[in-house]
Amino acid sequence: DTSRKIRAVFNAKGKSGKPLSNHPPYGYMRDLEDGQRWIIDEEAAVNVREAFHMCMQGFGPSQIANAFTERHILTPKAYAKSKGRKYCGRSEIIDDYTWATATVFHMLSRPEYAGHTANFKTYRKSFKNKKMLMRDPSEWVIFENTHEAIIDQETYDTVQRIRDGRRRWTPMGEMPILSGMMFCA
């Protein structure tokens, strides 16, 4: 009964346009006056803008991650730790300067960087099951222009088209399960 009530509260909050995430994405920080509002963290936003521009120039997530690693740019988790903030994200980093390809891939696919709030990206089948499941992006509830954008909408859309074009489709028009994970020599 309590679980149903908590879900109802989260549903109402998510449908009102407020972000459901406890932690803002890399490149943003919480406003000190209004904890629900995100403001741009210029120091980190420079790296986000650079990742999007490198993708537009034809670099893939692994190439961008390698470039950030070579230039000794702090990873999102290490950057948050250095600023005294909590970071809720992937934790597969080796050290503070080793960027993972998955981190860059995740960064390039987030609509939050274009100034939108995307709610209901994940769900759990039951309060007993702690495993988070990803929803299809068509099921996300997106509220446009809820906070200041790090990149403009045109750049975001261009990067999404570039990223979608890199996947290989089967002759029947379906996406293979291992598409983009295995490469033929």
- Run of H or E residues at 30: strand 28-30
Is the pLDDT score of 92 beyond 60? no
Residue 149, pLDDT score = 92
Residues 129-139: tens digit of each pLDDT: 888 888 888 88
Q: How many residues does the chain have?
A: 185
- Run of H or E residues at 80: helix 76-82
Q: Mean pLDDT over residues 24-36, rounded?
A: 86
Global pTM value: 0.77
Residues 57-80: tens digit of each pLDDT: 989 999 999 999 999 999 998 888
Residue 46, pLDDT score = 95
Q: Which of 96, 86, 82, 100 is nearest to 21 (CA)?
A: 86
Q: Which residue has the higher pLDDT, 163 or 156?
A: 156
Residue pair 117/143 in contact by the 8 Å Cβ criterion: yes
